[in-house]
């Protein structure tokens, strides 16, 4: 039975190596790995798992804050009138928030892509409360100028299927749950998204590259990392495409 001897010995060795590397008590297998703490900041996720290569984040896309777009029977419904993003007069769109499962699969160790793909319409990333980020365009790649009139009291709105999203600063996260200089989520390429301020100073587009980011140490990444910043002028979250290679989102 030479065959058995030759296969069992390396397998046993591998088990010993893996056991030594383990840092928690979760079972060692090929589909689960430790989720780094930084992803646990996505408090609105319904689950966060890792396979060691990708982080998989699931969300039901229900904002944890009041909105004029919840059905009036919902406890988080709150009517809204007056001024929204950048001084616009709020004009409610005909859609209502609907629960839906979004599954974001993002690289655990993001790297710069050699070709920077454009961001698609629809979800381009996930914020801390599980609501997706959208890019700087409305349907048909039209500018947000008119659509932004429909941003609610926390600067989000639902599209036709009820999918709630943020194209600009998620005001509830920057003023209630976190701060204007906090980590606010991740784009699909795995790079983190930060708020509109840094060291007490408002970040402007001129501080950022074509993709709307730059690289330096942050509170969450003391060794430095490329990260996006949200600003209050177009393109708001992302510029000319993903800095890294985007993962996937299924909906």
Nearest distance, CB of residue 67 and Zn ion, angstroms: 13
DSSP classification of residue 160: T
Nearest distance, CB of residue 149 and Zn ion, angstroms: 11
Please write down the HEC assignment for all residues of 50-113: ECCCEEEEEECCCCCCCECCCCCCCCCECCCCCEEHHHEECCCCCCCCCCCCEEEEEECCCCEC
In the sheet that holds 47-50, the strands lie side by side as: 47-50, 54-59, 102-107, 248-250
Nearest distance, CB of residue 207 and Zn ion, angstroms: 8
Which of 116, 227 has the CB closer to Zn ion?
227
Nearest distance, CB of residue 220 and Zn ion, angstroms: 11
User: What are the two backbone dihedrals, phi and then psi, of residue 213, each rounded to the nearest 5 degrees?
Assistant: -145, -175
Instruction: Report the C-alpha dihedral over residues 131, 105, 107, 199, rounded to 10 degrees.
Output: 10
Nearest distance, CB of residue 8 and Zn ion, angstroms: 51
Which of 198, 209 has the CB closer to Zn ion?
198
Which of 64, 198 has the CB closer to Zn ion?
198
* Structural contact between residues 103 and 58, judged by C-beta atoms closer than 8 angstroms: yes
Nearest distance, CB of residue 213 and Zn ion, angstroms: 7
Residue whose Cβ sits closest to Zn ion: 198
Which of 76, 208 has the CB closer to Zn ion?
208
Which of 56, 126 has the CB closer to Zn ion?
126
Buried b (16+ CB within 10 A) or exposed e, 23-54: eeeeeeeeeebebeebbebbebbeebbbeeeb
Question: Residue numbers of the site for Zn ion (CB under 5 A)?
Answer: 198
Which of 51, 198 has the CB closer to Zn ion?
198
Whole-number Å distance between alpha carbons of 38 and 156: 24
Give the CB-side neighbour count of residue 251, counting CA atoms within 13 A: 20
Which of 50, 232 has the CB closer to Zn ion?
232
Whole-number Å distance between alpha carbons of 43 and 86: 28
Nearest distance, CB of residue 240 and Zn ion, angstroms: 18
């Amino acid at each position: 039975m030479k065959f058995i001897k030759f296969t069992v010995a390396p397998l046993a060795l591998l088990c010993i190596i893996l056991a030594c590397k383990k840092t928690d008590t979760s079972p060692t297998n090929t589909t689960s790995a430790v989720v780094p703490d930084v992803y646990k900041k996505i408090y609105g996720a319904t689950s966060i798992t890792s396979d060691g290569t990708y982080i998989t984040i699931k969300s039901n896309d229900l904002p944890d804050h009041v909105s004029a777009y919840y059905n009036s029977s919902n406890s988080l419904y709150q009517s809204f009138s007056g001024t929204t993003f950048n001084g616009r007069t709020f004009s409610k769109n005909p859609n209502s928030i609907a629960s839906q499962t979004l599954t974001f699969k993002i690289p655990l160790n993001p790297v710069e892509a050699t070709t920077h793909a454009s961001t698609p319409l629809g979800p381009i990333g996930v914020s801390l409360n599980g609501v997706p980020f959208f890019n700087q365009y409305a349907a048909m790649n039209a500018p947000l100028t008119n659509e932004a009139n429909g941003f609610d009291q926390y600067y989000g709105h639902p599209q036709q299927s009820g999918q709630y999203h943020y194209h600009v600063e998620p005001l509830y996260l920057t003023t209630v749950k976190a701060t204007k200089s906090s980590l606010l989520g991740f784009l699909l390429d795995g790079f983190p998204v930060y708020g509109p301020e840094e060291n007490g100073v408002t970040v402007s587009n001129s501080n950022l590259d074509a993709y709307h980011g730059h690289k330096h140490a942050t509170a969450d990444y003391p060794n430095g990392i490329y990260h996006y910043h949200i600003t209050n002028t177009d393109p708001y979250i992302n510029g000319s495409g993903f800095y890294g290679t985007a993962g996937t989102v299924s909906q």
